[in-house]
Structure 1
């Protein structure tokens, strides 16, 4: 139901922008409304996928949510590019085509929800045991007495009953208490292409589209071949390290390009373009894909909805901040200085991942919760049952 409601909100916002008829305020209103929709959908979708997917395929299926997002970005860039060169700017159709295309995917989502299954874990939290088992049977395509289904269902039910017994009710205050105890290269790629010597506006837009396609290919490869084989934690660190390498070259290149432009060779410029596309690989297998996965699977069942929303809240907060601060940052710290700052951010992310992020590959959501259980126990007074469980 949440998916239907927020998809409809997104459609309404897109249609307001589409039929703004030259009223400059209407697209702003439309963007606010679509933001309400897409913000909620970015929480609901990966969270639902992580809850219904088997442990062996949870990473693959959750990352395909990000692949679908990248597909939309790639189609969007080339659609805008196509409209800019094939539709006369004197007609409203030049901007109406891109806006109206936004409604296709959420409309299909609403239709397909009528064949979708509710999360078994969510139904268990609502004490709908029969519905939960029936949903799991349909999701797995196996009878209820099959060992795989029975083991998974009993594990979920036992874990949820244990958490409810130990942590109290589902009040909003309780959930909040338990919970608290982006990408600049992509958004400003045309500007960055201009910095390193690409001047034609059509080439900038087209290259941005190719960059989005490169990210899409890298995300597909990461989801199919890399992350589940070597583990989430390792590939998150590899992706961040690749970004550090790319930012380092671009910072050095821009420093030399600004002071000794005549001494910059074509090979150096080509290398800068290459590092921008290599950055797509590092970002795709690291800081783009895996935060969606971690944000959906690391929270305990009881607070996953609120915790996942909190994770995406910070994601969209920084997504909002980047367009506000990046232009002045690129202008006021000599362009190359911005990339030094990006390196610092990536170093912080690398250290945080090394010391704080656990490996969760191949684990069920209940097993992940057991890993994090000591943190929950530290956040509240121990009961006798907790002391016994901690000892065991």
Structure 2
């Protein structure tokens, strides 16, 4: 319980702090890197448990009940699965969120989860009938990692981190971030609590089709309700919402935020490395 209180406080306090102190042009990237740090901590925790299991006497590990099969291999594979999610999160934070945009990245992440859930559900159903082969089993293993990729891309863009740090107004940003984290942990509890009974009620395979249905519903929600919140798109979105009151025709000369990639494209430079590092700062041009 004490550990849970600490985890809850850290998972709420850190995104709130980032959303309040980060500059608007880099708020999304910094928020996505909180997920990277979270994934690195999870990977480290799993491999610490793996090392303890290898080097501590078995009598001291009697609290680990319910693990079937080869426990050593199970813990190791869990750690490698965490490493894959950490790697996918790093890729998503650099190349998907900033270069493709938040909305497109969210579409990609949800679609990857949808397809992998459908395949795993169909595979389990066919396997129960006793008609699967080795290649289908290998594809099911690959589907797990495809799901990890989709989860990493989708989790960075969900309302808790990137969208949550960019969409809430400044006056209620702290409350919004805390509220998002509250529902985040509430849903995690609900899913984990219901998984055993759901698997039993749906003969195992139906649970994955059930989750795939929620992914399809999420696609529709993103298409209808979720805006693009990248730097330039956010500026245009605010102008439309305020009926042109932010038009530069009625403003005195000031500074204007320009996306680093667009600025380099105008100059004719195609330096990908400069684009990546340029995301950490803003380019200001006098207008």
| TM-score normalised per structure 2 | 0.76
Whether 1:308 aligns to 2:277 is no
Whether 1:64 aligns to 2:41 is no
2:228 matched residue in structure 1: 359
Q: Does the aligned pair in 1 maintain the 2:29–2:98 contact within 8 Å?
A: yes
Could you give the per-residue CA deviations for residues 280-332 of structure 1, whole angstroms, max 9, x where no partner exists?
Answer: 11110113554311122211111111111111111010111122100111122
1:320 matched residue in structure 2: 189
Residues 369 and 293 of structure 1: is their aligned pair in 2 closer, same or farther, counting only changes over 3 Å? Answer: same
Q: Considering only CA atoms, is the larger Rg found in Structure 1 or Structure 2?
A: 1
Whether 1:214 aligns to 2:183 is no
Within 5 Å, give how 1:157-176 maps onto structure 2.
none
Within 5 Å, give how 1:196-207 maps onto structure 2.
199-207=69-77
Whole-angstrom CA distance in 2 between matches of 1:39 and 1:277: 27
1:35 matched residue in structure 2: 4
Within 5 Å, give how 1:116-135 maps onto structure 2.
none
Residues 388 and 203 of structure 1: is their aligned pair in 2 closer, same or farther, counting only changes over 3 Å? Answer: closer
Could you give the per-residue CA deviations for residues 74-119 of structure 1, whole angstroms, max 9, x where no partner exists?
Answer: 1111111221121113348x98xxxxxxxxxxxxxxxxxxxxxxxx
Whole-angstrom CA distance in 2 between matches of 1:231 and 1:388: 24
1:227 matched residue in structure 2: 97
Q: Secondary structure at the match of 1:354?
A: helix
Within 5 Å, give how 1:1-392 maps onto structure 2.
31=1, 33-91=2-60, 199-260=69-130, 263-291=131-159, 292-362=161-231, 367=235, 370=238
Whole-angstrom CA distance in 1 between matches of 2:223 and 2:244: 31
Aligned length: 244
Residues 249 and 208 of structure 1: is their aligned pair in 2 closer, same or farther, counting only changes over 3 Å? Answer: same
Q: Does the aligned pair in 2 maintain the 1:74–1:212 contact within 8 Å?
A: yes
Whole-angstrom CA distance in 2 between matches of 1:44 and 1:286: 21
Could you give the per-residue CA deviations for residues 339-382 of structure 1, whole angstroms, max 9, x where no partner exists?
Answer: 011111111111111111111111598x59947967xxxxxxxx
Residues 289 and 34 of structure 1: is their aligned pair in 2 closer, same or farther, counting only changes over 3 Å? Answer: farther
Whole-angstrom CA distance in 2 between matches of 1:317 and 1:372: 35
Tell me by how many angstroms 1:230 deviates: 1.0
Q: Does the aligned pair in 1 maintain the 2:164–2:177 contact within 8 Å?
A: yes
Whole-angstrom CA distance in 1 between matches of 2:240 and 2:183: 21
RMSD across aligned positions (CA): 2.9
| TM-score normalised per structure 1 | 0.57
Which stretches in structure 1 are left out of the alignment for 5+ residues?
1-30, 96-189, 375-386
Tell me by how many angstroms 1:39 deviates: 2.0
Could you give the per-residue CA deviations for residues 142-199 of structure 1, whole angstroms, max 9, x where no partner exists?
Answer: xxxxxxxxxxxxxxxxxxxxxxxxxxxxxxxxxxxxxxxxxxxxxxxx99xx8xxxx5
1:128 matched residue in structure 2: none
Whole-angstrom CA distance in 2 between matches of 1:372 and 1:320: 39
Whole-angstrom CA distance in 2 between matches of 1:308 and 1:356: 19
Q: Does the aligned pair in 1 maintain the 2:27–2:165 contact within 8 Å?
A: no
Tell me by how many angstroms 1:219 deviates: 0.5
Whole-angstrom CA distance in 2 between matches of 1:35 and 1:317: 13
Q: Does the aligned pair in 2 maintain the 1:50–1:293 contact within 8 Å?
A: no
Whole-angstrom CA distance in 1 between matches of 2:240 and 2:152: 27
